[in-house]
Amino acid sequence: MTKSPIPSNDLDGLLHLMARLRNPDGGCPWDLEQSFSSIAPHTIEEAYEVADAIDQGDMAHLKDELGDLLFQVVFYAQMANEAGDFDFHDIVAAITEKMVRRHPHVFGDQTGIENADAQTANWESLKAEERKNNAAKSNSGAPHGALDGVSRGLPALMRAAKLQKRAARVGFDWPSTLPVFDKFREEVAELEAEVATGDTKGMEHEVGDLLFTCVNLARKLDIDPETALRHANGRFEGRFGHIEHTLWGDNRKVEDTSLEELDQLWTEAKKTVD
């Protein structure tokens, strides 16, 4: 196979590059072995790396990570094209049609969408109608449920938030934040009771309920739980690193330090690492 150069800033060039990688005649053995299932975990990882670059405010890193994420789409498109299902241009056509359909106030004659909140409500209404139509096309005979279509592939915190938002739209929601705090305390008490029994399955059940309630609380406070936990992870890393560096300066290690002193160093780290 002739090894012609690939344009470095052209989408068609990227598609051609992907086809070359998947070509049985001279392609990459690793790329040729991949399937939709094997690539899916990489896609999730790349999406989180995009989010991390945004959190860090690192535009150079963000550019690279967005390229990696785009490459995932190109990879799927190539595999689907090989199977005769669809290609990259079909993906573009589908998302373009969907965005036009979901923005009738921009591309149609709908009025009354004057701010982001109104657009969010309209967007969700249109999506609900799409889900209803899709359910009707399935000919299953089952009624369309409010929670239908929430992907099971989402991270658990994110999926919990989406499930709760869907339920809230049909009126299944706390009237305010205060009852959620009561529910939180109730779940803590139930977890403590299970810990006292030593029932592993019961403890797992109650930890799940407690986490689900935490997500509900975050939702009522208009806080994204996935983002909040990601930031908490970052603070923990920074503070723990501060403790390690403090001890290293004294030629000491964390594992050789008492819990009492580590707790004191943690308190100091909280003042330094926000």
Give the pLDDT confidence score for residue 129 in this predicted structure: 73
| 123 in any annotated domain | no
Tens digits of pLDDT across the chain (274 residues): 456 666 677 899 999 999 999 999 999 999 999 999 999 989 999 998 998 899 889 999 999 999 999 999 999 999 999 999 999 999 999 999 999 988 888 887 877 777 877 787 777 777 777 767 766 655 555 667 888 888 888 889 989 999 999 999 889 999 999 999 999 999 999 999 999 999 999 999 999 999 999 999 999 999 999 889 989 999 999 999 999 999 999 999 999 999 999 999 999 999 988 7
| Boundary residue ending a domain (101, 127, 149) | 101
Three-state secondary structure call for residue 74: helix
| 33 in any annotated domain | yes
| 4 in any annotated domain | no
Quote the CA–CA distance of 151 and 61 in Å, as a whole number: 28
Give the pLDDT confidence score for residue 146 in this predicted structure: 84
Give the pLDDT confidence score for residue 112 in this predicted structure: 74
CATH of the domain at 80: 1.10.287.1080
| Boundary residue ending a domain (101, 135, 166) | 101
Quote the CA–CA distance of 46 and 72 in Å, as a whole number: 8
| 153 in any annotated domain | no
b/e per residue, 116-154, with b = 16+ CB within 10 A?
eeeeeebeeeeebeebeeebeeeeeeeebebeeebeeee
Give the pLDDT confidence score for residue 110 in this predicted structure: 79
Give the pLDDT confidence score for residue 78 in this predicted structure: 98
Can you give the residue range of the structural domain that contains 246? Answer: 227-272
* 202's tokens: 């019961």
Give the pLDDT confidence score for residue 87 in this predicted structure: 97
Please tell me the total count of domains within the chain: 2
Whole-model pTM over 0.75: no
